[in-house]
Amino acid sequence: MKTFCIAGPILPGDHYFIPKRLPWEKLDDLLDQKLYYVLHAPRQSGKTTAVLEYTRYLNAQGKYTALYLTTEPAHVAHNDIERTVYWLLSQFETEISKQLSDQEEALAFLRDALKNKFVQENALYRFLFFWAQINTKPLALFFDEIDGLVEKSLIFFLKQMRTGYPSRPALFPQSVCLIGVRSLQDYKLQSIEEKEKGVLLSPFNIVADSLLLRNFTSEQVRSLYLQHTEETGQAFTEEALNFAYEVTQGQPWLVNALAYQACFRDTTNRSVEITRSLLEKAKEQLILRRDTHIDALVDRLNEPRVRGIIDAILSGSEPASFNPDDIQYVRDLGLVKEYGWEIANPIYQQVIPRALTHVMQELIREQTVSYIDASGKLIVPKLLEAFTQFFRENSESFGSKIEYNESFPHLLLMAFLQKIINGGGHIHREYAVGRRRLDLLVLWKQQKIVIELKIKYGEDTLSKGLEQTAVYMDIAGSEEGHLLIFDRTPSKPWDEKISNELITYQSKKIHVWTM
């Protein structure tokens, strides 16, 4: 039985699979024009699967000799160039044996070179020169995980490619594709010594194009899920199919993991239809479990170039003043959408604040039962009154432990709410970038509660906040609205900051909390 792939490259015989995700005609043109290029996408996007499919197609066509190999084993070499070359040649020997076993002369060359574990620095160039010369067809090479090579090793590798570039295709590969996370059309790199001298290198300025492997479209998500229906008879409702795309935005790992959780963990009875509610349950499991893919993203949140941009998005600030390369870096990681200032998808919107406030949540002692009335209704004023006191007592100590300074009050509230709401509700987050606010919609049984967060920046904060809360209540269809205004004036006493009142605005009753 086939299944949804949640680890490693897809095996078409074992996994449901979306074919031809790369623009093959475009790649054919780049190859025919003897060009070198970059293919990039966030991790777990299906790059390896897509490239392996394309290399198999090229070799079946018979016009080129195509080879895929990962540079990952060479990453351990760091700045040791001889070890880097050794591991790269070892990978060539392994992958040619698997993919192109008739290449006996190339394999003999490699095995002879690898007899001496510490090979010469120019051995990679000499092998590619030799292979291109003796092979009857032009070579097309695809190097994966290229951005895992660092400093000297990466500079060395790129210089080897550039050195042989003018000799292609007779004496060097006709086309080279570098595959990684980053979108780098011109690798600007420095070794440690060159940093000290102020030297900046551009060793791969021969790259002709930078291609992005995009997420699944809604139709591709549907196609992938319907393969499961055809295989097992287990159907997805229309609402479930739409929901899957909505919460994943087509991110391939999330699309597969969501369905795997619903179809192979939460239920194995194939007569049970996969509904939106089942996928919602699966989504919560992914968020709570934080598998390797999600954990790898979370680890990036503490990098300074990531932290500043995500901090601005969470707090509703405008990140436009950031270094363009840092902005591109965060987009390349898949944390932020390709266009605009939004977290990449609703699952990451929940994962990121939960990850940043995990320690805070562990320290919060509040219990859900304290804020539920006899009918099971959530008593939000009592909850926010408790949060006000909690914020007063703990904001200084918690604030010193987290480097997300701009969004810290928002994160602390979300940690507090999450601890309570985990008992039976959901929190939907809308980051209103550029408008200095965060919109929260708390769903608890039949209740829809709007909570608007703002930092006090001027005298019009209250009027703007009331207007924004009223609009969001309208959109959400909520009759209960709360506006929280954080006054971060350091010298102002807490007794002057803290207040709450019920205000009627445009016929809507909005509870305003300041702290």
Q: What is the DSSP string of 53-101?
A: HHHHHHHHHTSSEEEEEE-GGGGGGTT-HHHHHHHHHHHHHHHHHHH-T
Distance CA 216, CA 212 (A): 12
Q: Residue 74 pLDDT > 50, yes or no? A: yes
| 122 plus 269 within the same structural domain | no
Q: Is residue 87 part of a domain?
A: yes
Distance CA 433, CA 336 (A): 12
Q: Is residue 399 part of a domain?
A: yes
Q: Rounded to 5, what percent of the chain is helix, strand, coil? A: 50, 15, 35
| 175 plus 72 within the same structural domain | yes
| 104 plus 249 within the same structural domain | no
Q: Residue 186 pLDDT > 50, yes or no? A: no
Mean pLDDT over residues 475-493, rounded? 92
Q: Is residue 5 part of a domain?
A: no
Q: Residue 488 pLDDT > 70, yes or no? A: yes
| 466 plus 348 within the same structural domain | yes
What is the reported pLDDT for 190? 45
295: Cα separation from own chain's centroid: 10
Q: How distant, in Å, are the alpha carbons of 291, 414, 494 from that of 419? A: 21, 8, 25
**Residues 344-392 pLDDT 10s:** 999 998 888 888 887 777 778 778 888 999 999 999 999 999 999 999 9
CATH code, domain with 242: 1.10.8
Q: Is residue 14 part of a domain?
A: no
Q: Residue 318 pLDDT > 90, yes or no? A: no
* Residue that terminates a domain, selected from 246, 274, 289: 289
| 485 plus 355 within the same structural domain | yes
* Residue that terminates a domain, selected from 212, 232, 247: 212
Percent of the chain with pLDDT over 90: 62
Tell me the two tokens of residue 490: 């350091």
| 284 plus 299 within the same structural domain | no
Distance CA 486, CA 489 (A): 9
What is the reported pLDDT for 199? 47
Which residues form the domain of 159?
24-212
What is the reported pLDDT for 432? 59
**Residues 197-235 pLDDT 10s:** 454 445 467 788 889 999 999 999 999 999 999 999 999
In total, how many domains does the chain have? 3
**Residues 258-296 pLDDT 10s:** 999 999 999 989 999 999 999 999 998 998 887 777 888
Q: Is residue 359 part of a domain?
A: yes
Mean pLDDT of the residues in the chain:
89
| 104 plus 185 within the same structural domain | yes
- What angle do helix axes 346-356 and 304-315 make, rounded to 10 degrees? 110
| 307 plus 163 within the same structural domain | no
| 252 plus 271 within the same structural domain | yes
| 365 plus 378 within the same structural domain | yes
* Residue that terminates a domain, selected from 195, 212, 229: 212
| 189 plus 224 within the same structural domain | no
Report pTM: 0.86
| 305 plus 376 within the same structural domain | yes
- 3-class SS of residue 374: coil
